[in-house]
Amino acid sequence: MTVPPGEETEDPVSAVVDTEEGADEQENLAAEWEEMTSAPETDRVLNQDEIDSLLGFDEETAGVADKTGIQAILTAARSDRLPMLDVVFDRLVRLMSTSLRNFTSDNVEVSLKSIESFKFGDYLNSVELPAMLNVFKAEEWDASAILIVNSTLIYSMIDILLGGKRDMALARFQDRAFTTIECNLTERMVHIILSDLSAAFEPLSPVHFRFDRLETNPRFATICKPSDGVIVAKIQIDMEDRGGDFEILIPYSTLEPIRELLHQGFMGEKGRDSIWETHLLEELWVTEVDLTVVLDEQILSLGQIFDLKVGSQLKLRATPSSSVDVRCGSIPLFKGVMGRKDENIAIKISETLIREVE
C-alpha cells in the first residue's frame, strides 16, 4: 500500500495508548471530585453545655437568658430601642449622686451599669432574694413600675445611717426577713430615688412617681402579664468600701404615653424636617389643579345604560338658574351659578364647601 506524499499514517498502538490514558485521567478527576464533595461522616453528639450555649441559656441564670446564641437574636428582635431613655437615666445618675450624698452624709458614687429588655415573668423569677420590691405608680401615665433593691445595698445603707462598722460582715443577714427599721429606712431611700426619677423625666414629660407598696415576695409584685416586655435599668451605688445595686423595672406599656418622645435621637427633636415642610407648603399654593363643573347627576340602571345608542339623549334637570358643583376630582369645593363673561362660560361662586385651614 502506497501513501501519497504529505500524508501521515496513524499508529494503531499509540492510538490505543492515548485512549487508555484519557480514560484513566477521567476516572481520576471523577474520584477527586467525589472526594471533595462528599461530607465527612461523624457520629459526635453535642453535649448539654454546647446545646445551652447554642440556644443562649444557662442553668445558673435560668430566668434571665445570656445574650448569646439564638436567645440573643430573639432578645434583640424583642427589644425596642428608646434613645431618650438613656438620657433620662444618665440624668438620674447625676441627680442621685447629690441627693444620696446629702441623705447619707458620705461620699456616694452612682453609675449606670446596663439597660436591657426582658420578659416580665422571666425577669421576676430571676430576682435574687432577699430583696425589696418597691412598686410605684406614674400618676400622669396611670401605670406602675418596680424598683428592686438588693440586700447588699440595703444592709450597706443601714450601716451608714446607723453608724455600723465598715468591715462588718453581711453574710449573716442573708437568710432572715427584713426588720421594720430596715424597711422604713429603705423606703426613705426609695422616696429619694423616685423624686430624682421624676426630675429626670421632667424635661421630656412631666410625671410624678408615687410610692405604692413594698413587697418581699416577687409573686405579690406583679404589675403586668408575664409575657409583656419590660425595660430594666441596673444602677450601682458605691459608698467607699460598701455599696450595692438597685434596678428599675418599667414595662413598655407604662412608657406607651411617651413612646414617641423616647424615640427621639436628642432632646427637642420633632421627628420631621421643618425646612422641607415650609418648602412643600409654599409649592402647594402655586400648584395648578383641574376643576370640574358638574351640571347634573343621574342614576341609571345597568339595563338603561346598555340601551343607550348613538343619538340617544339624556335630559338634564338643570336650568340656567340651577346651582352647580365645582369639584377637584371627587372632592366638592364650591357651589355656583352658570353664566357668561364676554365670550366665555363662567361660574359665579355662591358657597364654599372646603374647610378653612386654621
Note whether 117 and 135 are within 8 A (CB).
no
Does residue 3 register a pLDDT over 50?
Answer: no
Task: Provide the pLDDT for residue 171.
Answer: 44
Note whether 201 and 88 are within 8 A (CB).
yes
Task: Provide the pLDDT for residue 105.
Answer: 86
Average of per-residue pLDDT across 96-123: 90
Strands 209-215 and 143-150: unpaired
Task: Provide the pLDDT for residue 77.
Answer: 44
- Say whether 6 sits in a helix, a strand or coil: coil
Task: Provide the pLDDT for residue 15.
Answer: 46
Task: Provide the pLDDT for residue 145.
Answer: 94
* Residue type (1 letter), 74: L
Task: Provide the pLDDT for residue 272.
Answer: 59
pLDDT tier at 344 (50, 70, 90 boundaries)?
confident
Non-local (6+) Cβ contacts of 147 within 8 A are 133, 134, 136, 190, 193, 194, 246, 247, 248, 249
Length of the chain: 358
Long-range contacts of 340-349 (CB under 8 A, 24+ apart): 347/293
Dist CA 325 CA 329 (whole Å): 12
Note whether 271 and 173 are within 8 A (CB).
no
Look at the block and give the residue holding cell 492515548.
18
Dist CA 61 CA 70 (whole Å): 16
Of 163, 221, 162, the residue nearest 188 (C-alpha): 162
Task: Kindly list the structural domains of the chain, giving each domain's residue range(s) and its CATH number in brackets, ordered by start.
Answer: 80-262 (3.40.1550.10), 288-296+320-358 (no CATH)
**What single-letter DSSP state applies at residue 62?**
S
What global pTM score does this model have?
Answer: 0.56
Please say whether the dihedral angle defined by the alpha carbons of residues 297, 301, 302 and 305, taken in this order, is positive or negative: negative
**Spacing of C-alpha 65 from chain mean position:** 19
Task: Provide the pLDDT for residue 120.
Answer: 92
In degrees and rounded to multiples of 5, residue 151 shows phi and psi of -65, -35
Dist CA 347 CA 335 (whole Å): 9
Does residue 45 register a pLDDT over 80?
Answer: no
Of 317, 156, 128, the residue nearest 236 (C-alpha): 156
Average of per-residue pLDDT across 197-222: 91
Non-local (6+) Cβ contacts of 265 within 8 A are 83
Task: Provide the pLDDT for residue 271.
Answer: 52
3-state helix, strand, coil split of the chain in percent (to 5) is: 40, 25, 40
Non-local (6+) Cβ contacts of 34 within 8 A are none
